[in-house]
Amino acid sequence: MVIVAIIAQPIPKIKAIAAIRERIVLLIILGNEKPIPFDLSIQKSIIEFTVMSRHIGTLGEQLVAQWLQQTGWRISYHQYHCRWGEIDLIGHRETTIIFVEVKTRSRGNWDANGALAITATKQAKLIRTAEHFLSTHPHFSNHPCRFDVALVRCKHQNPAAQNPTKESSQIVTPGKPIDIEAYQLTLEDYIESAFP
């Protein structure tokens, strides 16, 4: 797993952290004369990792959306975007609206399965994005709302053991793994009203 900031233009004194499996390498970029030249193979790896991470995140969101639908929620929006940020899932049941942040993580992650990633700053962005959603969807504006957090565990499976099953054919049960594409996903925890 690699996380690196790609510097497209010179920016002085930037610190980028690259996590390579269990090692953490600190890159310090000093000066503003030239961007650091990245080897093309490194750039390709970074792009592949970013695409793979987004795909895994989307699979986690789809798993949670399916579970919510199984429990009676109707999903109105998936990956709602505005200038303030993104809300992974927006759903409603009767008169209640839920804004759901989904965190999909592999075993041995650094942030308690994604729970520590819901910082005060992240909460403020989600709240502001939800306010924007409600202002542009006035038919929802008088309904009670809550912010939920779903924590999904992801395990990459051995290619020989891959089960190409799509999530729509399986019942999602919290704590029970589901095989989707080359991954085994588990809804580890669903926290209702995770923050105000």
pLDDT tens digits for range 91-116: 999 989 999 999 999 877 778 778 88
Could you give the CA distance from residue 134 to residue 16 in angstroms, rounded to a whole number? Answer: 36
User: What CATH number is given to the structural domain containing 76?
Assistant: 3.40.1350.10
Tell me, yes or no, whether 53 lies in a domain.
no
Bigger pLDDT: 72 vs 4: 72
Query: Residue 129 half-sphere exposure, CB side, CA atoms within 13 Å?
Result: 24
Q: Give the tokens for residue 188.
A: 């580890």
Question: Phi and psi dihedrals of 23, rounded to 5?
Answer: -95, 145
Query: With 70 as the cut, is the pLDDT of residue 161 above it?
Result: no
pLDDT of residue 14: 32
Task: Report whether 25 contacts 18 (CB < 8 A).
Answer: yes
The reply to whether 128 falls in a domain is yes
Decide if 134 is inside a domain: yes
User: What per-residue confidence (pLDDT) applies to 51?
Assistant: 67
**What average pLDDT score do residues 37-64 get?**
73
DSSP string, 11-38: -SSEEEEEEETTEEEEEEE--SSSPPPP
**Is 19 a member of any domain?**
no
Is 74 inside any structural domain?
A: yes
Is residue 119 a part of any domain in this protein? Answer: yes
Report the pLDDT averaged over residues 119-141: 94
> Does residue 164 fall inside a structural domain?
yes
Nearest 10 degrees: Cα torsion 183, 73, 189, 54: 40
Residue 79 lies in a domain: yes
Domain span including residue 127: 58-195
Mean pLDDT of the chain: 77
Instruction: Provide the domain count of the chain.
Output: 1
What band does 152 get if pLDDT is binned at 50, 70 and 90?
A: very high
Query: Can you give the pTM of this predicted structure?
Result: 0.72
